[in-house]
Amino acid sequence: MRLLSRKATCNTHGQDSSYFLGWQEYEKNPYDEIKNPTGIIQMGLAENQLSFDLLESWLANNPDAAGFKKDGQSIFRELALFQDYHGLPDFKKALVDFMAEIRGNRVTFDQNKIVLTAGATSANETLMFCLAEPGEAFLLPTPYYPGFDRDLKWRTGVEIVPIQCTSSNGFQITAPALEEAYLEAQKRNLRVKGVLVTNPSNPLGTTMSRSELNLLVNFITAKGIHLISDEIYSGTVFSSPGFVSIMEVLKDKKCENTDVWRRVHIVYSLSKDLGLPGFRVGAIYSNDDLVVSAATKMSSFGLISSQTQYLLSALLSDKKFTKHYISENQRRLKQRQNLLVKGLEKAGISCLKSNAGLFCWVNMKHLLSSNTFEAEMELWKKIVYDVNLNISPGSSCHCTEPGWFRVCFANMSEETLKLAMERLKSFVDSINMSSHQRLKNSRKKSLTKWVFRLSFHDREPEER
């Protein structure tokens, strides 16, 4: 008799991806400036730790919120008791207003159309349960966040079909790539229920162009399918071009109250923009009343605590603070990204031009021993075990071209980032030195053979 379920014993979670394996190696030997200065530096984790001081300063200046008080009176008991899964109205209002502020108030959001979830992971999975049956498919442009293989597929049974994007146009989505992915799904007898994109992109660190977004809207209109826009990095855009939300495109195309309007859904969280992944605050925004109703019921399996909602409601309602935080956080992200890019340049490494996110998409093709994914993994292992840097290989993001890596820059101090770049430069220098020595030895060997042949042919015939 089977004692455990198939789900408990299956191996489709994705935990064996090099993306997660790198984390495991880091946890065995984590870098610490004092306790373990030669340990592994974590550059595979997209956390925003650059603006904690701003949040801590607000907490210090607003002790009532942090102490669960209202007008000086404790509301601890009220918050400690059961709250229904619709969420606190004040928090939902503050969250949709914050989402609008990040988008320059070019669009607004209705708090009655938002569903609170325990992070974006829960939001994305909930949408899969709402929009697709097991064995149906969503199309995702490559490269994409490795965790989607877990979040979208593991419990839902939904399949992912990649939209193959390449470096030839900066990994932008094209009409032929969309059609090719759709046809590939049909060949596999998979019914396509929608497209999911991350904007800004993880792992590219780029915003989607308006033309790409228009292309997507036209595509889902023609196919009669859904579009999920994961916009959890929308507040991290630190340089032009600016962020364009899918809601702006729908508004510009006058799609309000149409079928397409109801088939577009947004995922958001405070994990990246506010740097609060531990608070587990995510959200689904949908114009489809049935999706909102079903997702709200499902949210009972992953609620946000009332204490968290109350605290963040007060913080996000402070418009003076949020305005300063958004601009200052973006300034710091740009400064830190520049530091990484310059450090990479000193090591002779380039990266895709980015304008958002907490990472860069780095090109290390010239360091591969061959143009293969096997060579990529060989290089990745050297960087993790010899250089003691954990970065994410492009293959874990389903990139079609070997040699790309995602490198995070916002989850460490400036001094740690500089040390990481020093380690990487020393590694590249050693590779270049070895290559130079091999080339020198090869030339020396060739020269010796040439001199030998020349002296042999110059002898008199009777001496041969």
Q: Which residues are catalytic?
A: 145, 230, 232, 272
Angle, nearest 10°, between helix axes 119-131 and 289-298? Answer: 120
Give the position of tokens 């593991």.
154
Give the position of tokens 């904007």.
199
- What residues pair up with 267 in beta bridges, in sequence order? 230, 284
Which distant-in-sequence residues (6+ apart) come within 8 Å of 282 by Cβ?
116, 117, 118, 119, 120, 121, 122, 123, 232, 267, 268, 269, 270, 271
Which distant-in-sequence residues (6+ apart) come within 8 Å of 67 by Cβ?
74
Amino acid occupying residue 233: Y
Under DSSP, the state recorded for 32 is B
Amino acid occupying residue 25: E
Q: What's the first-to-final CA gap in the chain, in angstroms?
A: 85
50 and 336 Cβ atoms separated by less than 8 Å? yes
Interatomic CA distance for residues 313 and 448, integer angstroms = 78
207 and 199 Cβ atoms separated by less than 8 Å? yes
Interatomic CA distance for residues 426 and 424, integer angstroms = 5
- Three-state SS for 256? coil
159 and 137 Cβ atoms separated by less than 8 Å? yes
For residue 317 the two structure tokens come to 């309602």
- Three-state SS for 144? coil
The angle formed by the CA atoms of residues 250, 252 and 253, to the nearest 5 degrees, is 65
The angle formed by the CA atoms of residues 412, 325 and 417, to the nearest 5 degrees, is 15
For residue 346 the two structure tokens come to 């000193």
Interatomic CA distance for residues 31 and 12, integer angstroms = 31
For residue 178 the two structure tokens come to 């969309």
